[in-house]
Structure 1
Amino acid sequence: MAVTIKSQREIELMRESCKILADVFSQMEKAVHPGVSTLDINNLGEKLIRAHGCIPNFLNYNGYPASICVSVNDEVVHGIPHKDHILHEGDIVSLDAGLIYKGYHSDMARTFPVGQVSEEARLLMERTKGSFFAGIEMAKAGNHLYDISNAIDAYIKPFGYGIVRDLVGHGIGTSLHEDPQIPNFAQHRRGLKLQAGMTLAIEPMINIGRPDVAWLDDDWTVVTEDGSLSAHYENTVLITDGEPEILTMY
């Protein structure tokens, strides 16, 4: 496993990449409302990324045909935007995207409510976010990688939700996906020791129902097997000698 430790110069480039992405998300969030299509959101996100002189890193990545993954309700991740897929009151929508700034990648995801949503949906989104913050409490130099995984699992388990096991977080830098992989569920081993200068994309994906997922015929869209709602919360995080720095917050 080749985990890259970023130099101070690389960290500054990562910070800027992530700052731009967070700004893009803040604008996309404002566009989420009933009547908007998933393609509208994609087009806005791509326009904003390019307006900053950056490249959408999801576009054509392994053949993915859009810049923003837009996943609605039981779609976990990698939903393909379409002009006929309209958001309705009560939906929840997960946006997952990244960009390249001067050769350095950023990656983040959020699940947003569309208008007024059920209490069940609200709690799922809130607790998915909470699991991320439980995980990064362990994201410190000297701790081990799977301390993050175990903390996410321990936070979610009492709610009876399913933690997606088929998809995991990852390192990030000059590539969108670098070592190490970061599971969101408990591990029996400790994993590698965390070091200052590592940049990680930590991204719990949580289902109200079972953890099982399936791929649709488009070979991209991942859905919950039981049709239950799913939420996603992701940030690019810098490991430091002290508290972790969340690079994609806004």
Structure 2
Amino acid sequence: MTAHIERLVQQLDDSTGPSYDARAELIGIGSDAVPALIEGLPSLGGFGQLTAIEVFEEVADPRCGRALIALLDSDDSTVREWAAMALASLKIDGAVEPVRRAYRVCLERATPPDWSEPEGIRWALTPASSTTPTGPRRAFAAPCRSTEPRGSHSHPRLTTAGRISTMSGSKKYSISLPEDLAEAVRAHVGPGGFSAYVAEALEQRVAMDKLREIVADFETDNEALTREEVEAARALLRHDHRQAGGTAA
């Protein structure tokens, strides 16, 4: 079992696909995976360390505390940010002073205060982040946190079916969500599916926004679509959908 866990840890660095499956399996293994993950952490690149932090947060084993504190000295600003936020969300004993030191170092680098790293570390130092997760908004460690200054960690997208679908130019971003909404999504999709769910919702929203732009451009040069034209288009779409369903059957 130990050798298998060690292989999974090394796969966390593979952004072409295996990273998501390894992440989900390590989360499923739980605390038994933590020692190998801690030991293998220094050998991972930035991408693998970010994914390892996600596993630490999901498993919530306090033994990861020292490893997360060590990551506050990483050369990767996103790794530093995620480590600070994980230390806060896991309520690791003795982490406050190292996180404060990381914030001071961040200021000494003259990092703009509105960039992701100082914002994330400031969040980690707020009383709400270390005492209760029930505040109105909270940054989540879903695999879509931000890079700063907008780094280039390529990351594949996990489809809802659990397979890897490479999304060209995709990156991790940091987003804040209402606590109840984020927990509802997490309960619905389970470990490893949070990012896919958010990505699918965003894709649908972007598609609708683009559709509105197409209609607006059309109506700029033409008369507005009549209700009859809209209903006729809907009828065509319904007909195509029924045809596709019949073919599949």
Shorter-chain TM-score: which interval? Answer: under 0.3
Whose radius of gyration is greater, 1 or 2?
Answer: 2
Higher helix content, 1 or 2: 2
Bigger proportion of residues as strand: 1
TM-score (norm. length: structure 1): 0.26
Question: Could you tell me the TM-score, scaled by structure 2's length?
Answer: 0.26
